């Protein structure tokens, strides 16, 4: 049986003995209370202890998305589900599915940063020249750069700025961030949009790339940040007394076509 | 290793040989086209071939819920999810979670009917007397009877009536239905609500109890009925161009509290 | 508010009046029993009545996957979930998530067929020449063709053949199928693998492309085919008495690393 | 429109202004880095700032479950799903559904503790007498007490003990814990099982009851504790190269019935 046999499994996340559970090689009883949960999150996902700086950065990352009221599709989905099926797990199941290409996930930006950073380093080109060339290629191909732009903020996205400062202070800031910032500068110049921000999702992606997370792990961590909010919203919904969330008719355009079944069946060749 | 060992499995649903898949003992290639999908659904879940009457009843059951526009929480959840994460599977995953205690599921009614029917039969009492006694006990305990009442219909729920006629015509109608109808009559009399309907979910539950489905299987079959609608809504949403479904601010009461973090931390005992 | 406003919805799937629900413009009460569920599935997803041939093809499609014992990841996931959380909805939610790139979904093949078929038609080239050229381009780019090959079958996949015959007999077979068959022939010739089969997933994708389904809808319909099996497996699991499905230790390679937390924290810069 | 209208929403979790997001009344930018993520989790779910003691207790709670190798059904489900559909969100969606009645959730124990504690306080009885009476009633009714017993540990469950000490040290320990401990003592005495442990799930439930969480919120927090492990396992699975997790045939008892379709259809009344 090989490592990729579909009924044989390998894992280095944790293992169990009769006395304890070993998480990434550390007894869980020694972890509890010795390291903050955010540091343990880093350990569990990245498979090594963080430095205090990395642990602090991780904590700030986990605190950076949190919640977005009813302007977040995952919250709408989670609450709709429990209005009918009043189970915490069911609401959480729906809520975590609502992160992806269109919102709430640094995965696309993370993939862009790590892929282009790798190509640049293989090329041996200076950063500035390479970033300018990449931007011009992307624009020629009509491709957008994930992580740029914001509906409200111009110049600087304050949350992104806070993340950037934290990354510098905690010693996490590095090459991947510099590379992404260079693309940002090149993009601003090439499009003549000096106010276009590097937004919070882009900044998160850059920092997590530098911290060694894969793009898919970044999606998981972003969802983890919103998990307390999902719990709170589901709990709020369960207390609300609403049974079966719906969209009011005035907020829906229904086509309201009317057809005659017997007539149409005949026309389609259905005999009596 | 016993049957209930957590790493040993037993199954009678299907098994695979190099040449074919055997579904409940029949080669899948012989099933395809020989029986309608609704009959195969009965076979797969109930583990025996249906009669033509049972197959027809099954088909009508699967066609009896279908869709409910945007007045169905599962549709709202499914569309919200794919507005952010444009994957059919993600939308379906959220959609099927939205059936339960508060709507869309005959499970509660099915459990009520099969439990009370069993007790009645063990008691040896005549049906009418037993149903009257049960209703009076339920009312004394303040318990509602699942499957009774409707926001619009009085006297008869036309969809329930259509299901009832089909059950009689296909030879499915039986003791469980009679028992539930007796409870309905007793309840109408005891509450002096002669117009209270036995609704479509109640009728579905009664018919599926008679057909031998467990309450949990009934939930599954109700969701199966709505599956084509879920696919259609998700497809519609994916084409809509909406990115991130939200609830407009005018439809939300936000508490909008404002607190001072430094002050409150001090008050809670956090030192600088 | 425009059609793409994130809090305004449009739908043509169904709408509700006080008397009835109109599904694609037909009162649901007229649909129940007039058309088989598989024909209604076509109507709901494709938004028009099928011909009897299309309805029959749809029925055969829905009967063509069904179940695959414990050799299907979605079944493993669904049963694992309900072994801990004994809710039909929870099991179904997990089960429907397990279709995608690696198995159980005609989506990739459907996208390949519709994209390449469109390009071919725009090119004005004869089919044979175009398919040969496409195959040589794909091979040069190292891209695989979805829907070709099978672990067991050589020459012909019997289930695919059954689907093909049904598509011809029901009048559904058409240009998309011919185009995909031409690619298959060109691929067999170019790779000198005359026995390489066009498998059942590929055939399903070709037929559903011809029937006008989008690739994402094909994924939904494939999952719909497996839904009765999911219900049956979950029901079987709920009756099994197993609490918490696990993988037995002999089927897992655990890394079983052991580290000293105090030592490692010190090394990483954590002070006492 | 009332608070319980199914298309009107209320929320106190967070709200958004053009400049910032206010989470439970605090600007998110002020929260990031000022409080650890576990303290923010308490704030978001419980709607007030924790004391430093409560924050520390919360952190230890979040670090107390973490992971359980492949001996946890949710991990099996999550990995099975992504082996076919390689999306982080899909795996997380399946993973969070696997907590409930049979494992991984303090919800049942939490409900037991808060319900019985409330009844006791309304009764005005002394704690010891009340707990003895409750235990004798439960035993007469054949009801089990959630949170008692462990497959390995006798006398003391070391993880529960660690949680207990932390609750005392952080000032969280209180009446609900005393009440549950009294039931434990009464149960040990009544059943003559002096070694029966109060397990970690029971201890978690008692502590979280004391901290003011609802039973459903406890389920959410337990799942949150396992979230980093889910991310890590899904990431491990995505790297494994396995396509479609299955259960090997030697671990399954298949019924392998064989039937004749034509014969059985005839017997069931299907005409040619």
pLDDT tens readout for residues C157-208: 999 999 999 999 999 999 999 999 999 999 999 999 999 999 999 999 999 9
Cα(B169)–Cα(D18) distance, integer angstroms: 63
Q: Half-sphere exposure of residue D262, counting CA atoms within 13 Å on the CB side? A: 1
Question: Is the model's pLDDT at B16 over the cut of 80?
Answer: yes
Per CB-CB distance under 8 Å, the chain D contacts of A223 are 88-89, 92, 227
Each residue's pLDDT tens digit, D200-220: 999 999 999 999 999 999 999
Pick the residue from chain D with its C-alpha nearest to A239.
D4
Which pLDDT score, from 0 to 100, does residue D253 have?
Answer: 96
Mean pLDDT of chain C: 95
Structure tokens at B256: 């909008």
Contact D240 A10 (CB under 8 A): yes
Which pLDDT score, from 0 to 100, does residue A104 have?
Answer: 84
pLDDT-based confidence at residue C1 (cuts at 50, 70, 90): very low
Question: Is the model's pLDDT at A42 over the cut of 50?
Answer: yes
Mean pLDDT of chain A: 95
Which pLDDT score, from 0 to 100, does residue D112 have?
Answer: 97
Question: Is the model's pLDDT at D3 over the cut of 80?
Answer: no
Residues of A131-140 as b/e, b for ≥16 C-beta within 10 angstroms?
bbebbeebee
Residue D192, judged by CB atoms within 10 A of its CB (0-12, 13-18, 19+), counts as: exposed
Question: Is the model's pLDDT at D151 over the cut of 90?
Answer: no
Which pLDDT score, from 0 to 100, does residue C19 have?
Answer: 84
Which residues of chain C approach chain D closer than 8 Å at the C-beta? 69-74, 76-78, 80-81, 83-87, 90-91, 93-94, 97-105, 243-248, 251-252, 254
| Percentage of chain C modeled with pLDDT above 90 | 92
Question: Is the model's pLDDT at A271 over the cut of 90?
Answer: no
Which pLDDT score, from 0 to 100, does residue B272 have?
Answer: 61
Question: Is the model's pLDDT at B1 over the cut of 80?
Answer: no
Strand C252-254 and strand A9-11: the pairing is: parallel
Question: Is the model's pLDDT at B103 over the cut of 90?
Answer: no
Which pLDDT score, from 0 to 100, does residue A272 have?
Answer: 61
Query: Rounded mean pLDDT of B252-266?
Result: 97
Of the candidates D208, D231, D229, the one whose C-alpha atom is nearest the C-alpha of residue D220 is D208
Which pLDDT score, from 0 to 100, does residue D195 have?
Answer: 96
| Percentage of chain D modeled with pLDDT above 90 | 92
Which pLDDT score, from 0 to 100, does residue B19 have?
Answer: 84
Contact B102 A246 (CB under 8 A): no
Please provide residue D21's backbone torsions phi and psi, each rounded to the nearest 5 degrees. -110, 130
Chains that touch B (3 or more CB pairs under 8 A): A, C, D
Question: Is the model's pLDDT at D227 over the cut of 70?
Answer: yes
Q: Which of B12, B261, B268 has its CB closest to that of D257?
A: B12
Of the candidates B164, B184, B162, the one whose C-alpha atom is nearest the C-alpha of residue B174 is B164
Contact D93 A93 (CB under 8 A): yes
Q: To probe the interface with C, which of D98, D216, D220 has the most C CB atoms within 10 Å?
A: D98
Question: Is the model's pLDDT at B258 over the cut of 90?
Answer: yes
Pick the residue from chain D with its C-alpha nearest to C84.
D102
Query: Rounded mean pLDDT of B167-194?
Result: 97
Low-confidence winner among A98-102, C115-119, D211-215 (lowest mean pLDDT): A98-102
Which pLDDT score, from 0 to 100, does residue C271 have?
Answer: 87
Which pLDDT score, from 0 to 100, does residue D19 have?
Answer: 84
pLDDT-based confidence at residue C103 (cuts at 50, 70, 90): confident
| Percentage of chain C modeled with pLDDT above 70 | 98
Each residue's pLDDT tens digit, A114-151: 999 999 999 999 999 999 999 999 999 999 899 999 88
Each residue's pLDDT tens digit, B19-74: 899 999 999 999 999 999 999 999 999 999 999 999 999 999 999 999 999 999 99
Which pLDDT score, from 0 to 100, does residue D4 have?
Answer: 65
Q: What is the ipTM of this complex?
A: 0.96
Each residue's pLDDT tens digit, A157-174: 999 999 999 999 999 999
Q: How distant is the Cα of B176 from the closest Cα of chain D, in angstroms? A: 22
Per CB-CB distance under 8 Å, the chain A contacts of C101 are none
Question: Is the model's pLDDT at B121 over the cut of 70?
Answer: yes
């Amino acid at each position: 049986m090989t490592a990729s046999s579909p009924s044989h499994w390998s894992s280095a996340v944790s293992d169990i003995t009769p006395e304890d559970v070993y998480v990434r090689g550390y007894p869980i009883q020694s972890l509890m209370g010795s390291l903050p949960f955010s540091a343990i999150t880093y350990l569990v996902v990245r498979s090594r202890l963080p430095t205090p700086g990395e642990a602090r950065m991780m904590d700030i990352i986990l605190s950076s998305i949190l919640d977005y009221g009813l302007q977040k599709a995952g919250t709408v989905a989670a609450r709709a589900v429990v209005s009918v099926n009043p189970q915490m797990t069911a609401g959480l199941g729906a809520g975590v599915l609502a992160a992806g290409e269109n919102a709430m996930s640094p995965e696309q930006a993370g993939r862009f940063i790590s892929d282009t950073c790798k190509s640049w380093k293989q090329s041996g080109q200076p950063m500035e020249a390479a970033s300018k060339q990449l931007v011009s290629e992307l624009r020629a191909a009509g491709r957008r750069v994930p992580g740029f732009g914001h509906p409200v903020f111009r110049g600087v996205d304050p949350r992104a700025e806070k993340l950037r400062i934290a990354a510098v202070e905690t010693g996490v800031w590095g090459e991947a961030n510099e590379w992404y910032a260079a693309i940002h500068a090149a993009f601003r110049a090439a499009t003549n949009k000096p106010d276009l921000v590097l937004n919070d999702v882009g900044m998160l992606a850059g920092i997590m790339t530098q911290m060694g997370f894969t793009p898919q792990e970044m999606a998981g961590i972003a969802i983890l940040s919103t998990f307390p909010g999902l719990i709170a919203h589901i709990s709020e919904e369960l207390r609300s007394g609403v049974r079966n969330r719906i969209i009011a008719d005035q907020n829906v355009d229904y086509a309201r076509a009317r057809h005659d079944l017997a007539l149409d069946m005949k026309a389609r060749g259905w005999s009596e």
